[in-house]
Structure formats: C-alpha cells, structure tokens
Structure 1
Amino acid sequence: MPSLKKIVLPLTLLLFTLILASCGQPDNSSTPTPSAAATSQATVAPEASPAAVKEAAATRKYTDYKKREVEIPATPKKIVYVGSNPGDLLALGIKPAGASLSVIGTQVAYPDLLEGIEDIGYPFSAEKILAVSPDLIIFDDWDETGIEALSKIAPTVVVGLDGTFPTEERVRQIADLLGRTAAADQWFKDYQAKVDAVKKQLNLKEGETATSLLVLGQDLYIMGNKGLNETLFGRLGFKPAEGVQKVITADERFVTISDEVLPQYVGTHLFLLTDTGSKTVARQNALMDSGLWKAIPAVKEGRVYTLDSKYNFDDPITLDRLLDEIAGIFKGKQ
C-alpha cells in the first residue's frame, strides 16, 4: 500500500501538508525535554557601567533547539511567529505581532483569535517582517534556510522544525522561552479536566474502536499516529481499528487508500474529516453514494461523525475546541 511521508512542497500544495502533517513527528524518547534543550542566563558583565548593566539586564542568552545560543530580549514586546501552530502562543496568552497566516489563517479552528496579527506571508516575506519591527522571532518551520535570513532582522529562536515535538513538549518549550510556565501549567491542567469530563460523557465500552478518514480533494487518507487520532486514542480512550493499528505500528502518520480497501480500516466509529472545497465535496458525495460505503457497519448503524479537517491540527486551541465538537456530537447521539 503506498504511503505518504512528510514532503517539502511549494505554496500551492502547502495546505495539503499542513492538514496531514502539521500535527507533529513521531515521538522520540531521545529528544531532550524543553528544560534540557533550552537554558537561559543573565548577560550582565560585572565590570559594566550602570547604563550598560541596565541595557544588558534587558537581555538574556537562550540555547534553542538547534543548539544556537541567541541573545534575546528578557521581555519581548513584538514577537513574530514563523510556523504552522500560532495556537501554541495564543494558548499561553501571547498574541504575536506577526505570523505565517497566508495559508492556515482560514484553515484553523480559531480564526476569531487571529484578528490583529499581521500576516507575514508563507513563505515569509522579509519586507513584511521588517515592517512589523519585531524584537524576537520564533521559528518552527521545515525550511531551515530561513533561519539565517530571519536572524538578520531580529533575534531568532528555533523551537522546532514544523512538528519536531508533540504538543505539550512544544508548548512548554515556548512557555520556558517566554516566561509563561505558570500559564502552560494552568492550561494543561484545565485541558486534562475537560478531557476527563468528555471521556466520562462518552462512557465507551470495552473494545470500541475508531477510525479517522480524511477526504482531501480527490484522495482518501487513513490517519495513523497523529492528527485527530492523538485525541481519540491518546486522550478519550477509543482503540484503533485493526487496520489503523497496522498504520500506527508502521509509525505512519497517514496512508492514502482506495475506496475498495476502506472497509478494512473502519472500526466501531468512523470520524470523517472533510472540507468545503468543490473537489472534496464531489469526492465525498461520490463515496457516500456508493454501495461499498453503505455496506460498512459503522455507516449502517449511524456511527459516522463528520468534522471539519481543521480539527486535524494539534495546537492547544484546536485540541480544546475539538473536545467541544466531540462532546456535542455524542450528546446528540444519546
């Protein structure tokens, strides 16, 4: 069966990559924790003059994900974020002055929170970033060549390379960078309480399995170990359907499939991720009109739940709003 790995794509295909793969790389137990990967210290020299001491005290040194020691503002005022998860900052109560919104701005689950953030383009525009006049740039993108160019504009800290870390580790690293560890602690405490409440509401029985099917344009994808399944399997207690478990065991984030093999992947519950694009709608309608689709037990028994593909991202804001969506779906089924 052919599979799709994360691929470097031009702008016209970026949305495809973001929806499928922006949710992070497989976990790596050898990856340093944020506390080990990022340290800071004052930059004041003992012999400095009072004016120099005051100026130096306003900065500190930070060792980032790429092991680069960067002198950054102790309290940054204008942050530009280059990456696909601006929700990481928003969850910590930080609204960046600029961010890469050209593609994801209309695709995320929290467009209401993006108001007032300057779009710096994707790929980023140096001119647009210069116009923002940032004093700190946070970089979490796949194109490492951008780091050098950004560093000439403002201190640039690399927190990952587009999904290097799972959500909590990624957010806690940013919290450590920006002095928001208490905010991160509170967010994840509240999130876990919400997970527990939704899980209690679902009241799943032993052996109930789930499958996430993404319809994107003309193609069908079974999600593996990332995206929506991180919530279904990692938080809410669903078990992977047998076919999905094989994808996870192979350490695949997703695989592309044909209609004919779809029944091999569908479990007790089927979560259908889709969007309103004309090609996606046509593909979805054709699939749902087919005899093959109508013969699937989860379909016949009314256990298919449609979600917008924007819920396949893994930033904290999306994860929180996804719980609301799932709770609403199952409340209507009870």
Structure 2
Amino acid sequence: MGKWRLMKAGWMSLITAAMITVTACGQAGDQTVAPVGTDQPAQTTTVSNEATSQAETRVVNDGFGEVEIPTNPKRISALYREDYLVALGVTPIVQYYNPMWGKQEYLKLDVPLFDVTGNIEALLVSEPDIIIAAGEVDAAQYELYSKVAPTFRIPDDILPDSRKTLTLIAELLGLSDKAEQVLADYDARIVDVKAKLNAAIGDEKLVVLRMNVVDKSINIFGIHNTFVGQLLYEDLGLKAPGFAEAMTEGNIVLSKEVVPELDADHIIILPSNGTWDEESNTKALEEMKTDPLWKNVPAFKNGHVYPVERSYWQAGAITANGLKMDDLLRLLAPGSK
C-alpha cells in the first residue's frame, strides 16, 4: 500500500491544478457496462517489510477487469453503497452526495459528504484505502477514481441482488463471517414479514410509483426494478399489477392511457425529490387523487395510496430494505408486530 501513498501525493497537485470534476450519471444501477467475470480466484501479492513478510494486496476482478486492492482496507469509500457498509458495522470515510438529489438521510451518518458533481480533490483528501463504485461510474470516471485509490466497480450482474452485493463487499473488506450473520438475520426477518403481509392482504396487488415533482409525470417501478423488485416480488411474494409484471424495464414513465387499466389495490408513492412535508409535493399528490384518470384505480378508490420517504425506497440495499419492511407492516398490516 506504500505505492498508493506516493501516488496520492503526486496526483494531489495534478488533480488540484486541473480542477477535474466528476458528474453523476443518473440513478445507480441504470447503466449497462459489460461486466467481467468475478468467479476467478483472487491472487495475493506478498510484500516484505523489516519485521515480517505478509500479504498486503491482492488482485481481484471487477466490472472493468483486474484491480489490485489492499488485503485489509480500513478507510472505505463506497459511493452510494454506504448502506452495505452500515449493515456490516463499518463507517465509511465519506458519504455520496448530489446537490440535485441529496444524500441517503436514513443512514444517519456523521461523516463528510463527497459531492459527486464537484472536484475529486475532496475524495483525495479523505485518503481512502479503497473506493467501491457501481453502475453510475463509467470508464472515464473509474480511471479518475483509480488515480485516488484502488477502485473496485461492482459488476452490473451483481447489483440487482442485495445479498450478492453485500457478500461481495464483505469479501473485499475481509468481513465474510459478518455478512453471513447479517444475511441470516435479514432472511429471518423476510420470512416473518412475508407471513404477516400474506395474512393481511393475500393476493391483492401492490405497485410502487414515483411522482416527478418538476413535470408531475409518474414513473412506475416494474418487477425487475433494482430498488424494489427483489424484495417486494421475489422475497416477500407480493403480487404486482399486470402492467408492472409485464415490464422488462426497471421503471418507465406511465402513460395516461394506461392509468385506467392499472389494477393496483395498493400503491406506494414517493416524490422524486424533497419530502411529502413540502407544500409543492403535497399539492401535487392531492391533485393526483382528484384526477379523474386516477380516481377509478382501486388503490385510489379505496384510500390505499401510501406516501413514503423516498431515499430508502430508492435504494435496494440491506438497511433500506429493512426500513421498507417496517413501512409495509405499518401500512398494510398495522395490527401485526
């Protein structure tokens, strides 16, 4: 790891002078960069020092190829994947932040923010041992981050699966045993919540919508959506309306022609920005409820429309999914504990 400290010193002056900026490329998991297989065994590089000879780095395969990472990284940056660190009991050195979107407030982290639309010097100053990134990081950004610290880009085929993502991140950090316990607890919770939801709503259909606060358009999340698909429709066994079930995309703008045919008994709805306490968002939702197009949708007709907090409903990680399950029990099975 000594070579990275030397490289950081050189890159500090270069990056500062160039004022290089890094911009976010949309929502995590929406990009499609061809992954490199991760089933090859990790290689270990042995580095000698005056006291002993020990493995300090190893070579692993990520979404862009081979990368040499520290064997036991301590200062971790996991951009927009801090949820997995929290689940593993690890505090990241910075937290992902985008001025247009904010940060994942639900994690309640007390660490510096890294503005992904700003200067990368802020990340360099934090001196990460490893940077863990994902679909929002393209090849150019990956190269830039790699000049700051060893950067691992999670392959795209791993991202939709929260269990695989946690397991992979834990393996990178040497915390595989911890991940096994976290997942055992997680799966036990799912079994319990699934039984309670089945008793409460049976085969009634549920869908997640996002209100885009700028133009009032509505996005519908399908069964393959990275944020909700695995938890709601695979793990908890909830039923989706026919339109959402037929979707091949993760989410699309719902056309007005489809609304009268949306046979949703329950609707989870979140704003694209801000909170439901904001007057503009509340007003938009009230207008939606009185819109003739929506009034005949079963969920609206029966008062089964549930505004929720957006940040953890727009994340598919372990901690976020726990909060979603809390919401589902509160909203759909209020008598259960």
Q: How much does 1:61 deviate? A: 2.8
Q: How far does the alpha carbon of each residue in 1:252-283 deviate from its partner, in whole angstroms, 9 at most, with x for none?
A: 11121244531312322222223435554333
Q: Is 1:232–1:238's contact at 8 Å kept on the other side of the alignment?
A: yes
Quick one: which of 95, 98, 111 aligns to 1:99?
Answer: 95
Whole-angstrom CA distance in 1 between matches of 2:296 and 2:101: 38
Gaps of 5+ in 1: 1-9
The 1:61–1:246 alpha-carbon spacing in structure 2 relative to 1, beyond 3 Å, is closer
TM-score, normalised by the number of residues in structure 2: 0.78
Letter in 1 for 2:270: L
Whole-angstrom CA distance in 2 between matches of 1:88 and 1:192: 15
| 2:325 counterpart of 1:330 | no
Q: How far does the alpha carbon of each residue in 1:273-298 deviate from its partner, in whole angstroms, 9 at most, with x for none?
A: 23435554333221112233332222
Q: How much does 1:190 deviate? A: 0.8
Q: Is 1:98–1:118's contact at 8 Å kept on the other side of the alignment?
A: yes
Whole-angstrom CA distance in 1 between matches of 2:100 and 2:84: 14
Whole-angstrom CA distance in 2 between matches of 1:200 and 1:325: 15
Number of aligned positions between the proteins? 303
Q: How far does the alpha carbon of each residue in 1:158-203 deviate from its partner, in whole angstroms, 9 at most, with x for none?
A: 2246984422222211111111111111111111111111112121
Quick one: which of 248, 251, 266 aligns to 1:254?
Answer: 251
Whole-angstrom CA distance in 2 between matches of 1:235 and 1:104: 32
Q: How much does 1:119 deviate? A: 1.6
| 2:57 counterpart of 1:59 | yes
Aligned to 1:4: none
Q: Is 2:218–2:253's contact at 8 Å kept on the other side of the alignment?
A: yes
Quick one: which of 180, 196, 217 aligns to 1:185?
Answer: 180
Q: How much does 1:97 deviate? A: 0.9
Letter in 1 for 2:178: A
| 2:271 counterpart of 1:271 | no
Q: Which runs of 4+ in 1 moved over 4 A?
A: 23-26, 103-107, 161-165
Q: How far does the alpha carbon of each residue in 1:80-118 deviate from its partner, in whole angstroms, 9 at most, with x for none?
A: 22x322112221111111232235984535241x11x22
Q: How far does the alpha carbon of each residue in 1:208-252 deviate from its partner, in whole angstroms, 9 at most, with x for none?
A: 2222221121210111121234322112221111121222xxx11
Gaps of 5+ in 2: 1-21
The 1:325–1:164 alpha-carbon spacing in structure 2 relative to 1, beyond 3 Å, is closer
Q: Is 1:142–1:162's contact at 8 Å kept on the other side of the alignment?
A: no
| 2:158 counterpart of 1:175 | no
Letter in 2 for 1:51: E
Whole-angstrom CA distance in 2 between matches of 1:229 and 1:41: 35
